[in-house]
Amino acid sequence: MSKTQEYLAEAFAGESQANRKYLAFAKKADEEGYAQVARMFRAAAAAETVHAHNHLRAMKGIGSTEENLKAAVAGETHEFEHMYPEMIETAKAEDAKEALRSFEWANAVEKVHADLYQKLLDNLGGEVSDYAYYVCPVCGYTQGGSAPDRCPVCNAKGDRFMKVD
């Protein structure tokens, strides 16, 4: 990998993280009643997304939908088979309970994401039902069609799920 490609990967990761961090900061600012601060955090988050997408395009990291689905399945599978299990064991060994819960929830949900992507990949070009997805605001569990009564991962109430059209 060339130095430029390394820099693009580093910049993509940094901009992606900044986007997520600024959205979390915006949520906190809204909760504390600082609407203008929240707007600025959301605006900066949107700009960071533009930067991340530009870097990803320059890395040739966006393929066809089929290629992108295959990459998504591979990425999610890597996370639940390799990345999170190691993190879970370390959090257990260090008695880091909050981190452990976060890692365990993410690990469980990454398996669900891999399955959802694989189903779409398996049926790409075929008849596809048109439905929304519902995401648990606590652990990220994702389900198509309708929200469950309770999240199967963290037990959050289904009426709290976010609808994604």
Instruction: Check pLDDT > 90 for residue 48.
Output: yes
Whether the pLDDT of residue 128 is over 90: the answer is no
pLDDT score at 127: 82
Percent of the chain at pLDDT > 90 equals 96
Confidence of residue 59 (pLDDT cuts 50, 70, 90): very high
DSSP category for residue 81: I
**Which CATH class for the 130-165 domain?**
mainly beta
pLDDT tens, position by position, 131-160: 999 999 999 999 999 999 999 999 999 999
Average pLDDT over residues 9-14: 97
pTM beyond cutoff 0.75: yes
* Mean pLDDT of all residues belonging to the chain: 97
| Domain boundary assignment for the chain | 3-58, 63-128, 130-165
Mean pLDDT of 26-47: 97
pLDDT attached to residue 40:
97
Displacement of CA 158 from its chain's centroid (Å):
19
What digits encode the pLDDT tens for the residues 75-117? 999 999 999 999 999 999 999 999 999 999 999 999 999 999 9
- Residue 82 sits at the vertex; the CA angle it makes with 162 and 96, to the nearest 5 degrees, is 70
Mean pLDDT of 20-35: 98
Provide the residue count of the chain: 165
Is pLDDT at 1 greater than 90 in this prediction?
Answer: no
Counting DSSP H helices and E strands in the chain, the numbers are 5, 3
Phi-psi region of 125 (alpha: psi -120 to 50; beta: other; left: phi over 0): left
* Residue 54: per-residue pLDDT: 98
Q: What is the CATH topology of the domain spanning 3-58? A: Ferritin (1.20.1260)
| C-alpha span between 160 and 138 (Å, rounded) | 9
